């Protein structure tokens, strides 16, 4: 499954949950509105009272079949009169035209007033067997009472093409040796020690600029920048407390050295297409690579270390 497909599936689960939550209250509100259709004062009163059924809504209103608003905007703080007779027919939740026989939930869009991601439920209003308009209910995504499970990245190889301008000049450049390149056999063991014994769970090596960025398990919200002088000195390991290698790491401790050695191989294997930066996260098991062509790869460590995998046939 592609990353976009996986994301869409996660989003659709949340949309289905919201839809199911709204079906019953929107039908009941629409039934009450149908009985007083055309009576502005009573419609506004019903909309104001409807927040007891959808307390997480931002605005409630009604529009006719042409999308012209036939009420004030009801909010938790009162009514907005200026939207009366507003033409909503071109708004995202009216394009394409919502179904006339069932509640629909729009795709997310940026609201005009708050400039925040929102969705709108459109519930048909049926009076004496005829469709007369919609109940519209706007929701600010941050106000929705969904228990949203964090999206989990699929464990698969992703290849991303880089800047075409860089790719177009690829064969006019060659690798320039950095200070890190000159002492790579002294520096990689330091990085391995930090990850294996000192609590660094994510590390990224920037070969051309001779630096590394690291994230420590005791302070995961902030990264630390290690320049060449720090990387070349094994004493840097004394600056970080010893931490047992996490049991829930997807990358085995024994795989750290082969991963770093493979970074070295990719750095020196070709003078034109070479590794600019490499990273590894021991918890999600992903190795990140950025090459001189500006192409990037995010690949499970097992596939990265398996030299017969598809990755090795398309690293550019």
Whether 57 shows a pLDDT value over 70: the answer reads yes
**Does 299 fall in a domain?**
yes
Strand positions, DSSP E, the chain = 59-64, 73-75, 78-80, 104-105, 109-110, 117-127, 130-140, 158-160, 200-206, 211-216, 219-226, 275-281, 286-291, 296-300
Whether 163 shows a pLDDT value over 70: the answer reads no
Question: DSSP letters of 234-294?
Answer: GGGGGGS---PPPTT-SS-HHHHHHHHHHHHHHHHS-SSS-EEEEEEETTTTEEEEEETTS
Is there a single domain that holds both residue 130 and residue 237? no
Whether 69 shows a pLDDT value over 50: the answer reads yes
Please compute the mean of the pLDDT values over residues 131-153 and round it to a whole number. Answer: 77
Share of residues in the chain with pLDDT > 70 (%): 84
Is there a single domain that holds both residue 172 and residue 221? yes
The phi, psi pair for 15, rounded to 5°, reads -65, -40
Please compute the mean of the pLDDT values over residues 99-103 and round it to a whole number. Answer: 94
Is there a single domain that holds both residue 164 and residue 294? yes
Is there a single domain that holds both residue 91 and residue 209? no
Is there a single domain that holds both residue 163 and residue 300? yes
Share of residues in the chain with pLDDT > 90 (%): 66
Q: Rounded CA gap, 286 and 86, in Å?
A: 51
Give the domain range for residue 189. 158-313
**Does 235 fall in a domain?**
yes
Looking at residue 160, its pLDDT comes to 60
DSSP 114: T
Q: Rounded CA gap, 211 and 190, in Å?
A: 12
Looking at residue 262, its pLDDT comes to 95
Looking at residue 33, its pLDDT comes to 97
Whether 124 shows a pLDDT value over 50: the answer reads yes
Residue pair 103/27 in contact (Cβ under 8 Å)? The answer is: yes
User: How high is the mean pLDDT of the chain?
Assistant: 87
Other Cβ atoms within 10 Å of 281 Cβ, number = 20
Residue 93: pLDDT band (50, 70, 90) is: very high
Looking at residue 292, its pLDDT comes to 83
- Tens of pLDDT, residue by residue over 231-286, are 999 999 889 999 999 999 999 999 999 999 999 999 998 888 889 999 999 999 99
Whether 161 shows a pLDDT value over 90: the answer reads no
- Report how far apart, in Å, the C-alpha atoms of 259 and of each of 13, 262, 307 are: 36, 5, 12
Residue 316: pLDDT band (50, 70, 90) is: very low
Is there a single domain that holds both residue 163 and residue 309? yes
**Does 234 fall in a domain?**
yes
**Does 6 fall in a domain?**
no
205: CB partners within 8 A, 6+ apart:
180, 191, 212, 263, 277, 278, 279
Whether 145 shows a pLDDT value over 50: the answer reads yes
Q: Rounded CA gap, 273 and 17, in Å?
A: 47
| Range in 76-80, 116-120, 235-239, 268-272 the model is least confident about | 268-272
Q: What angle do CA 152, 157, 163 make, to 5 degrees?
A: 105
| Range in 55-64, 69-78, 92-101, 111-120 the model is least confident about | 111-120
Whether the CA torsion 81, 87, 91, 93 is positive or negative: it is: positive
Q: Rounded CA gap, 174 and 292, in Å?
A: 9
Is there a single domain that holds both residue 231 and residue 289? yes
Residue pair 188/264 in contact (Cβ under 8 Å)? The answer is: yes
- Report how far apart, in Å, the C-alpha atoms of 304 and of each of 194, 290, 294 are: 21, 14, 18
Is there a single domain that holds both residue 131 and residue 193? no
Q: What spatial distance separates the first Cα and last Cα of the chain, rounded to whole Å?
A: 22
Is there a single domain that holds both residue 131 and residue 184? no
Is there a single domain that holds both residue 136 and residue 22? yes
Is there a single domain that holds both residue 42 and residue 177? no
Q: Which of 264, 216, 256 is nearest to 240 (CA)?
A: 216
Please compute the mean of the pLDDT values over residues 202-215 and round it to a whole number. Answer: 96
**Number of domains comprising the chain:** 2
Entry field: residues in the chain: 316
Please compute the mean of the pLDDT values over residues 11-35 and round it to a whole number. Answer: 89
- Tens of pLDDT, residue by residue over 279-310, are 999 999 999 999 887 678 899 999 999 876 66
**Ordered alpha helix ranges (H), 38-183:** 40-49, 164-168, 179-182
Residue pair 210/270 in contact (Cβ under 8 Å)? The answer is: no
Looking at residue 92, its pLDDT comes to 94
**Does 150 fall in a domain?**
no
Q: Which of 109, 143, 177 is the last residue of a domain?
A: 143
**Does 152 fall in a domain?**
no
**Does 7 fall in a domain?**
no
């Amino acid at each position: 499954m592609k990353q976009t497909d996986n994301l869409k599936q996660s989003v659709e689960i949340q949309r289905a949950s919201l839809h199911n939550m709204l079906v019953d209250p929107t039908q009941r509100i629409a039934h009450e509105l149908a009985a007083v259709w055309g009576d502005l004062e009573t419609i506004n009163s019903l909309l104001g009272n409807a927040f007891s059924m959808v307390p997480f809504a931002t605005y409630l209103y009604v529009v006719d079949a042409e999308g012209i608003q036939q009420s004030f905007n009801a909010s938790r703080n009162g009514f907005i009169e200026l939207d009366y007779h507003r033409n909503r027919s071109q708004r995202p939740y009216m394009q394409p035209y919502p179904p006339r026989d069932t509640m629909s939930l729009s795709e997310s869009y940026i609201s005009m007033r708050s400039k925040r991601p929102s969705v709108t439920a459109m519930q048909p209003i049926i009076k004496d067997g005829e469709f007369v308009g919609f109940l519209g209910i706007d929701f600010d995504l941050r106000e929705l009472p969904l228990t949203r499970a964090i999206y989990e990245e699929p464990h698969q190889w992703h290849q991303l093409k880089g800047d075409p301008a860089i790719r177009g000049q690829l064969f006019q450049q060659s690798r320039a040796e950095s200070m890190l390149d000159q002492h790579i056999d002294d520096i990689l063991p330091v990085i391995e020690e930090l990850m294996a014994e000192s609590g660094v769970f994510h590390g990224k090596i920037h070969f051309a600029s001779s630096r590394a960025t690291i994230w420590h398990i005791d302070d995961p919200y902030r990264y630390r920048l290690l320049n060449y002088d720090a990387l070349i000195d094994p004493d840097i390991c004394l600056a970080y407390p010893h931490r047992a290698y996490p049991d829930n790491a997807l990358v085995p401790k024994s795989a750290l050295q082969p991963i770093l050695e493979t970074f070295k191989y990719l750095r020196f294997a070709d003078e034109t297409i070479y590794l600019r930066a490499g990273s590894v996260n021991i918890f999600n098991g992903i190795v990140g690579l950025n090459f001189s062509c500006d192409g990037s790869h995010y690949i499970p460590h097992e596939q990265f270390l398996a030299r017969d995998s598809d990755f090795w046939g398309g690293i550019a």
